[in-house]
């Protein structure tokens, strides 16, 4: 990750790393420097692992030398880390598909097996043709390339115009009990919908909700949408848009909830207008809590939603399409509770109870046989 100290894309590797530590493996983490080290990294260190903070601020002359090395494509930080830790295998986790993977070249050079985990891909960024051979080398050279949805795999393969025979689909961990069943909220006056995720228009699309809800037909309906999640740059715009269109009665803020079940004890459905996703955990969690989902056809959403039976899907992050999906959902609002129960059954049939153990097994599969003895 580069935009914040920690996020959802880090959960899979971190939880797998903690499990592998418990199983006796030594874990060495190469992570971007932040002024305050994330709690999760401290836990790895406290359990005997090591954390290498790359891109740590230095003095003027050191920064000048680093700048020259970057221009000469000498990635000394990766070389130093590999020389120091001498890993038997390497996992690279990417928060976004255009992230470059220079450490892959060092792994290839030194014969170190490595895997890549792509946590998110979108149609908003295309890799320049000058970089195609680099990306193809990095991805083809990996022992495994893990994606969190087939849709993301397709986007990456389209971006680099290359089929990846080493690709596998993996599941991200969730933050609710697998057998969650929060009580169904009363619906005597208002249907309450939760939009869960960081407030970031480019990825999460909360601005689209305003454009839909400002229409007269929605103003006259007993519906309330609450935004849950941390601000990642657009909360002020969202607040101002709500004020501009006088939508205070229908669009509200719920802050950040530590316990996911608390959200679903207060809400009847999930609304996810994302412009891009990997495999949104908020939808997995909503379904595990027996709630209906209304989402865009992004990431793994279409694969997990049965249209009209467990949720509703908009073909794209466009106002008209989102409005249409919400209309279809509203027409069946009296069935949401029953549909949510079916959603809970379906997700448990399609999503693993223990994604962490499965991913830890995937990681250890790339360790050379001689090193496992």
Q: CATH number of the domain that 327 lies in? A: 3.40.50.2000
Percent over 70 (pLDDT), the chain: 94
What pLDDT, on the 0 to 100 scale, is given for residue 369? 77
Q: What is the DSSP code (8-state) at residue 82?
A: H
Supply 262's token pair.
């608390």
On whether both 142 and 202 belong to a single domain, the answer is: no
On whether both 67 and 96 belong to a single domain, the answer is: yes
**152-171 b/e with 16+ CB inside 10 Å = b?**
bbebbbebbeeebeebeebb
Q: How many domains does the chain have?
A: 2
What pLDDT, on the 0 to 100 scale, is given for residue 65? 53
Read off the pTM.
0.87
On whether both 162 and 236 belong to a single domain, the answer is: no
Confidence of residue 92 (pLDDT cuts 50, 70, 90): very high
The lowest-confidence range among 129-138, 294-303, 324-333, 364-373 is: 364-373
On whether both 33 and 149 belong to a single domain, the answer is: yes
Confidence of residue 72 (pLDDT cuts 50, 70, 90): very low
What pLDDT, on the 0 to 100 scale, is given for residue 370? 64
Q: Reduce the DSSP state of residue 113 to 3 states and report it.
A: coil
On whether both 115 and 94 belong to a single domain, the answer is: yes
On whether both 41 and 53 belong to a single domain, the answer is: yes
On whether both 50 and 128 belong to a single domain, the answer is: yes
pLDDT tens digits, residue range 232-261? Answer: 999 999 999 999 999 999 999 998 888 999
Report CA Rg, the chain: 22
Q: Is the pLDDT of residue 61 over 80?
A: no
User: Does 2 map to a domain?
Assistant: no
Q: Containing domain of residue 249, as a range?
A: 191-350
Q: How far apart are CA 355 and CA 21, in angstroms?
A: 17
Q: Is the pLDDT of residue 148 over 80?
A: yes
Q: Is the pLDDT of residue 196 over 60?
A: yes
On whether both 359 and 346 belong to a single domain, the answer is: no
Q: Is the pLDDT of residue 107 over 50?
A: yes
On whether both 156 and 247 belong to a single domain, the answer is: no
Q: How far apart are CA 129 and CA 139, in angstroms?
A: 16
Q: How far apart are CA 183 and CA 171, in angstroms?
A: 27
Q: How far apart are CA 136 and CA 130, in angstroms?
A: 12
Q: How far apart are CA 339 and CA 308, in angstroms?
A: 8
On whether both 15 and 86 belong to a single domain, the answer is: yes
């Amino acid at each position: 990750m580069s935009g914040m100290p920690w996020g959802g894309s880090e959960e899979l590797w971190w939880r797998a790393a903690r499990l592998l530590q418990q199983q006796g493996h030594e874990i060495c983490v190469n992570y971007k420097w932040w002024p305050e080290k994330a709690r999760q990294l401290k836990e790895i260190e406290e359990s005997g692992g090591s954390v290498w903070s790359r891109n740590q601020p230095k003095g003027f002359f050191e920064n000048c030398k680093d700048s020259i090395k970057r221009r000469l494509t000498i990635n000394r930080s990766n070389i130093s880390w590999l020389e120091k830790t001498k890993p038997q295998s390497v996992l690279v986790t990417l928060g976004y598909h255009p992230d470059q993977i220079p450490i892959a070249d060092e792994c290839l050079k030194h014969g170190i097996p490595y895997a890549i985990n792509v946590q998110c891909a979108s149609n908003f960024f295309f890799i320049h043709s000058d970089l195609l051979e680099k990306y193809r080398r990095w991805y083809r050279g990996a022992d495994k390339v893990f994606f969190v949805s087939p849709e993301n795999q397709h986007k990456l393969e389209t971006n680099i115009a290359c089929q990846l025979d080493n690709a596998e689909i993996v599941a991200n961990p969730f933050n609710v009990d697998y057998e969650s069943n929060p009580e169904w909220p009363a619906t005597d006056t208002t249907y309450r919908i939760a939009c869960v995720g960081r407030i970031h228009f480019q990825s999460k699309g909360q601005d689209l909700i305003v454009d839909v809800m400002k229409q007269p037909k929605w103003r006259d309906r007993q519906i309330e949408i609450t935004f849950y999640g941390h601000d990642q740059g657009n909360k002020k715009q969202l607040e101002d848009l709500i004020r501009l269109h006088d939508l205070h009665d229908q669009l509200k803020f719920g802050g950040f909830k530590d316990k996911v079940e608390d959200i679903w004890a207060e809400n009847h459905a999930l609304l996810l207008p994302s412009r891009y996703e990997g495999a949104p955990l908020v939808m997995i969690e909503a379904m595990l809590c027996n709630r209906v989902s209304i989402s865009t056809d992004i990431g793994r959403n279409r694969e997990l939603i049965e249209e009209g039976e467990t949720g509703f899907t908009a073909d794209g992050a466009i106002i008209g399409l989102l409005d249409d999906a919400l209309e279809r959902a509203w027409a069946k609002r009296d069935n949401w509770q029953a549909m949510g129960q079916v959603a809970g059954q379906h997700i448990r049939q399609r999503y693993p109870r223990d994604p962490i153990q499965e991913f830890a097994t995937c990681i250890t599969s790339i360790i050379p046989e001689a090193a496992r003895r």
